[in-house]
Amino acid sequence: MSPRVVLDPVGLFRRVPLQPHQLTEPVTPTADVPVLAHFGVPRVAEAGWSFELTGLVRRPRTYSLDELRGYPRRELMAFHQCVGNPLTPGAPARRISNVVWGGVDLRTLLDEAGVEPGASFLWSYGLDGGRFADVDCEAFVKDVRLSRVDSGDVLVAYELNGEPLTAQHGFPARLVVPGWYGTNSVKWLHRMVLADRRADGPFTTTFYNEPPPPTPEDPSPAPRPVWEIAPESVVVSPAPGARVRAGDEVDVWGWAWAPAGVRTVEVSVGNGWSPATVETREQLAWQRFRMRWRPAAPGEVTVACRAVDNTGVGQPSVTARNQVHSVPVTVTA
Ligand SMILES: Nc1nc2c(c(=O)[nH]1)N[C@H]1C(S)=C(S)[C@@H](COP(=O)(O)O)O[C@H]1N2
Ligand SMILES: [Mo]
């Protein structure tokens, strides 16, 4: 069903993310934003490209890139995170960036198309397909609840950090579901279908389903779709292996992010947890935290951080994607 498309390269393509201590820029430069493409990178020409909005809508239609640019342009700064390898749930990946998207609010397109009663999910198709983890797949398809689209900030984006999308990031246009893991933000958009149920493809039902962290009430929870991003934080400075002098003042800082916004971040320098100051959130961006530390005595110290979001949910200490991040630091005399 998808038109033929040239993939270059062909096969799983990843741009390795920056390490946490390299995340020094508030907005991640495009060349450093992690890339994940399961089947390769489609090379799509603007001429001849369009995407179709169809299914449970009164007025199905297609849009060229120029037509998309003709709608009011929305700009949105948001953290953008790949959950990690779907074959290794529970392993922290820390593929995180903070970017500025530009595009059209999807609600504008849906309002114009007229959503039929009964529609509850939006299925998005990429132009890419192929084989991933021994499963053949005609097209990369993901779904999102319409209620998430209705709550706002879901874009059909054609810009990243003020420039047209690069091929790797989804040129000509992609979905952006901010606050949800990157896998849901379908690149190289080809088709959107309004439906009354979830999409049943390998990327909605097989891959990208993970159990949430166990709780005392539910020690072995069932897998659920990888949708909303869990609260997380990383130490940017000091870097792992850094040497700091006893008695000097050390600026411990990093980034914390959660769809609901971050309420508190605590930092540990080896003996309990202390509150860090957290900057107020701009749009859906990650938030900087910092704490001054004056190490008293020489020795090996583990510097760690943990965030709690505005609904009171925090980070597990172990065995979770968003487990607490820590770095070893040497305090010298
Ligand atoms: N069509 C399509 N969209 C896709 C993917 C893909 O393989 N094909 N990968 C997803 C995954 S797993 C992630 S993390 C994000 C990454 O977006 P980025 O490469 O722009 O950072 O794209 C998502 N959208
Ligand atoms: Mo991903």
Give the residue with greater pLDDT, 1 vs 52: 52
Q: Is the CB of 37 under 6 A from ligand 1?
A: yes
Amino acid (1-letter code) at residue 312: G
Last residue of a domain, one of 174, 197, 225: 225
Does position 213 have pLDDT exceeding 80, yes or no? no
For residues 159 and 251, state if they share a domain: no
Gap between the Cα atoms of 187 and 144, Å rounded: 14
pLDDT in tens, 230-266: 999 999 999 999 999 999 999 999 999 999 999 999 9
Residue where one domain finishes, among candidates 225, 253, 286 = 225
Q: Which of 7, 15, 82 should be mutated for ligand 1, with most atoms under 8 A from CB?
A: 82
282, pLDDT greater than 50 = yes
Q: How far apart are CA 47 and CA 24, in angstroms?
A: 38
Q: Are 200 and 291 in contact (CB under 8 A)?
A: no
Task: Calculate what percentage of the chain has a pLDDT beyond 70.
Answer: 99
Same domain, 53 and 181: yes
Pair (162, 42) in one structural domain = yes
Is the pLDDT at 152 greater than 60? The verdict is yes
The answer, as to whether pTM is greater than 0.85, is: yes
Report, as an integer, the average pLDDT of 214-241.
93
How many separate domains does the chain show?
2
Q: How far apart are CA 230 and CA 302, in angstroms?
A: 23
pLDDT > 90: what percent of the chain? Answer: 88
Of 169, 193, 225, the domain-final residue: 225
Share the mean pLDDT of the chain: 95
268 & 147 share domain: no
**Is the distance from the beta carbon of residue 98 to the nearest atom of ligand 1 less than 6 Å?**
no
Q: Are residues 239 and 257 in the same domain?
A: yes
Residue 165 and residue 22 in one domain: yes
CA of 29 relative to ligand 2 center, distance in Å: 18
Range of the structural domain that residue 241 is part of: 232-332
Beta bridge partners of 253: 237, 290
Mean pLDDT of 308-325: 94
Are 83 and 125 found together in one domain? yes
Which whole number is the average pLDDT over 78-96? Answer: 92
- Give the least confident one: 151-155, 205-209, 290-294, 327-331: 205-209
Does 252 share its domain with 290?
Answer: yes
Q: 211 and 253 share a domain?
A: no
The confidence score (pLDDT) of residue 212 equals: 78
Is 1 a residue whose pLDDT tops 80?
Answer: no
Q: Is 17 in the pocket of ligand 1 (CB under 6 A)?
A: no
Do 177 and 263 belong together in one domain? no
Q: Domain holding 27: CATH number?
A: 3.90.420.10
Are 208 and 289 members of one domain? Answer: no
**Pairing mode, if any, of strands 325-332 and 243-245?**
parallel
pLDDT in tens, 155-206: 999 999 999 999 999 999 999 999 999 999 999 999 999 999 999 989 998 9
